[in-house]
Amino acid sequence: MSAFKGSDIVEIAVRIEENGEHFYRYAMQLAKDEDAKKIFSSLADAELQHKKTFAKIFAAMDKDNPPETYDGEYAAYLHDYVDNKIIFKKGMLEAELAKIKDTLAAIDFAMQRELDSILYYHEIKRFVSANEHAVIDDVIEEERKHFKGLSNLRTRYAK
């Protein structure tokens, strides 16, 4: 039996993108460098687009939540799991942002978050049934596109 269903993973992906968007908007407010502000704004917009993509995938999927002791318990569990355990963890904002001193550092930070997401999704595939791997692969591909865009941006700024 799988610990998660494909719909759970896509729901987690939606939450990761929400957290990413909030993080980048927060980072944009703290950034002193105008280039960094623009990059963070662009990243926030990209996270919002990813969230919409994943929400569309999620809406089309079959969902079968486990029995709950109260309405919304399982969704609350998934949200808490994402918010406190993976990628954009609560409490990490100030410490991580303090390390970002220039535009390249901002891009490097964003690239690392995308790599973390890709790795997370690769690992979580072990916990869903094989017939749902294609959905997870779609999520990974979206994250790869974001990483590639950041990589291209980094190349431009590094010159």
Is pTM, for the whole model, over 0.75?
no
Q: Which residues contact 137 (CB under 8 A, 6 or more apart)?
A: none
pLDDT confidence of residue 122: 85
Query: Which residues of the chain carry a pLDDT beneath 70?
Result: 1-4, 62-66, 74-75, 77-79, 81-94, 127
How far apart are the C-alpha atoms of 3 and 159, rounded to whole Å? 46
pLDDT confidence of residue 126: 75
pLDDT confidence of residue 38: 86
Domains of the chain: 6-158 (1.20.1260.10)
Does residue 9 contact residue 86 with C-beta atoms inside 8 Å? no
How far apart are the C-alpha atoms of 111 and 105, rounded to whole Å? 10
Backbone dihedral region of 87: left (phi > 0), alpha (psi from -120 to 50 degrees) or beta?
left
Identity of the residue numbered 156: R
pLDDT confidence of residue 1: 42
Does residue 14 contact residue 78 with C-beta atoms inside 8 Å? no
